[in-house]
Amino acid sequence: MNKVLHMAQERGLVRFDWLDAKYSFSFGNYFNPEKMNFGALRVLNDDTIAAGMGFGKHPHKNMEIITIVQSGSLKHEDSMGNKGIIEAGDIQVMSAGSGIEHSEVNASSKDSLRLFQLWIHSQTRDVTPRYEQKKIAPLLTKNGFTTIVKPKQEAAHDDIWIHQQAYISIGNFSDDTQTNYTLQQPQNGVYIMVIEGSISVVDQIVQHRDAIGIWDTTSVNMSITKNSSVLIVEVPMI
């Protein structure tokens, strides 16, 4: 088993009057040669966006872009004609494929928006771009992990899927709970971020917005030391 620890306070930080962004990996003006990616996971951004503000139209290509809204609502428009409002407890997936442009703006004129955005390298290049969104809050169970994104080949008709052998799972846990995550593909690695709370994993305390990457193992045991919400991104270690 190998591991790498990314403490919350060590993330890249960008602040504008409308944006407070924390970057787990090199992004934009933040560059750290030791934090370029974790396997196929290229970006994990933790953004707070002011009311009515956001990112104007910009392009993407050959990337699976996943947005999980924590609070508030996000307005999305893209060059395929898709328009949508993604609310707290929703997930949005956009396969950029051969190329797409989109904009992302806080849909509220009063309240701030908090979200996670992940970019995962596509396994298949130049596919037809696609867009999908879904409510995930009703799917989550207490004291266990729920897989909310999976590879296309494994997805049922109502599952959220991407063009990569990757999985995204979320778990909400009570104090003093023991849990285990078994990798869905043993050759993958897992990037574990504590959204809220505190856990102990591989003899390491991981707290609010800390993250730990683990690979060369088939399962990971965790002790929940405080009411916690945990995000797991399982990806090929390319």
Per-residue model confidence as pLDDT tens digits over 65-77: 999 999 999 999 9
C-alpha span between 76 and 92 (Å, rounded): 9
Give SS3 for 1: coil
C-alpha span between 166 and 236 (Å, rounded): 7
pLDDT tens digits for 124-177? Answer: 999 999 999 999 999 999 999 999 999 999 999 889 999 999 999 999 999 999
C-alpha span between 129 and 63 (Å, rounded): 10
Q: What is the pLDDT of residue 157?
A: 85
List, in sequence order, every residue forming a beta bridge with 199; answer none if it has no partner: 206, 224
Band the pLDDT of 119: cuts 50, 70, 90: very high
CATH of domain 2-235: 2.60.120.10
CA distances from 226 to 7, 200, 218 (A): 18, 10, 25
C-alpha span between 118 and 48 (Å, rounded): 15
Q: Is 77 exposed, middle or buried, given 0-12, 13-18 or 19+ CB atoms closer than 10 A?
A: middle
Q: What is the pLDDT of residue 31?
A: 97
